Amino acid sequence: MLKRLPLLLTLAPLAVAIGVYWLFWTGWAAEFKAALAPWLPGTGVVVTGFPYRLEAEIAPARLDGGDVVKLSARASRARINRGPWRPELTLISAQQPEFAATVGDVLSARLAAASSITSVHVDADGHVARISTVADAARIATGLLPVPITAQAFEVHLRERVGETAPASSPSGAPRGQMVLAGTALRFGGGDPLTFAADMVATGPARLDGYDRWATTGMVAIDPLTLADATGEVARVRATLVPIGRTGARFAGTIETVCPATVAAAIAGTPAPSERRLRAPARLAFEGVPGAVRVTGIPADLTTRAVRAQLPPCPVLRR
């Protein structure tokens, strides 16, 4: 027994430390469970993950919220993780997730996927520092486009922009929020696979916590939105989107493209022409509402303009 005493004296502080840490961890677990309860009513949340993490597994998972802007999230199974020392950061992995955001019957976006990873970072003041979702085998539908969208991988990154001021010339207010999108092997309907990227900034009179107030003077600036294939960039869009109350949206902007006839056909929903890429991009203009967009500036001399004959034809953007 005396020979074991040094070992026992060594292990005793370790056992005490583990016991004390267990008390702290159970407190953090209780706080984590309490934080999830309002978001998952009627769900029996069990927190596991000792000692390195706080983890709750929900099957099936369902989340609904919003008033004018209705938000929903579904998943056959979701795993919610948080580090004991980082309560501001939460990671969510989901199987067969479905996300939706709707305003009335016209403004809507839905995303379904085979799986997704989401990180939610909220700062000490309650502002959204970042919400990022990466979805695999994504299927997207939006009221702004009449065709479904699919992508091998699709990313959505959101953040609030706090403390910025509006330029004197801006009628829509200061930047309030930003959304960055990215898609690989993205297809519009049965079109060719494209690489997609978009950077959008919402401006408005105040924090984005009320749609009707924002819609009175707010807008979304898209700068830029790009489409590219394996050969290079096909189109670069800069535009503004202005909400029309709860019923729709009006947008206007420009498109720089080496495939002007192809782009115009995709917007109009007509069959894609056979077109080769121009050596110098053309600049088109567009304006309208979903389903009724007018494109101008299509060069009249397309048949005589210099093309990149060594490159493949323009991709089919939409089919």
Least confident of 17-21, 131-135, 171-175, 255-259: 17-21
- On the CB side of 69, CA atoms within 13 Å amount to 12
The residue ranking higher by pLDDT, 9 or 183, is 183
Percent of the chain having pLDDT more than 70? 95
In the chain, helix, strand, coil percent, each to 5? 15, 50, 35
In this predicted model, what pLDDT tens digit does every residue of 196-236 receive, in sequence order?
999 999 998 888 888 888 888 899 999 999 999 999 999 99
In this predicted model, what pLDDT tens digit does every residue of 136-177 receive, in sequence order?
999 999 877 889 999 999 999 999 998 888 776 677 788 999
- Separation CA 246–CA 64 (nearest Å): 19
Cβ neighbours for 23, distance < 8 A, ≥ 6 positions apart: none
**Count of other CB atoms within 10 angstroms of residue 94:** 25
- Separation CA 149–CA 111 (nearest Å): 9
- Separation CA 223–CA 237 (nearest Å): 7
Q: What is the mean pLDDT of residues 295-302?
A: 89
pLDDT value at residue 144: 79
In this predicted model, what pLDDT tens digit does every residue of 126-141 receive, in sequence order?
889 999 999 999 999 9
In this predicted structure, the answer to whether residue 178 has a pLDDT above a threshold of 90 is yes
pLDDT value at residue 99: 96
Exposed (0-12), middle (13-18) or buried (19+): which is 186, by Cβ within 10 Å? Answer: buried
What's the 3-state SS for 202-214? EEECCCCCCHHHH
pLDDT value at residue 11: 65
In this predicted structure, the answer to whether residue 2 has a pLDDT above a threshold of 70 is no
The model's pTM = 0.90
Q: What is the mean pLDDT of residues 64-83?
A: 89
In this predicted structure, the answer to whether residue 107 has a pLDDT above a threshold of 70 is yes
In this predicted structure, the answer to whether residue 15 has a pLDDT above a threshold of 60 is yes
Least confident of 13-17, 34-38, 75-79, 82-86: 13-17
Give SS3 for 67. coil
Range ranked top by mean pLDDT from 24-38, 59-73, 136-150, 290-304: 136-150
**Could you tell me how far CA 88 lies from the centroid of its own chain?**
20
Q: What is the mean pLDDT of the chain?
A: 88
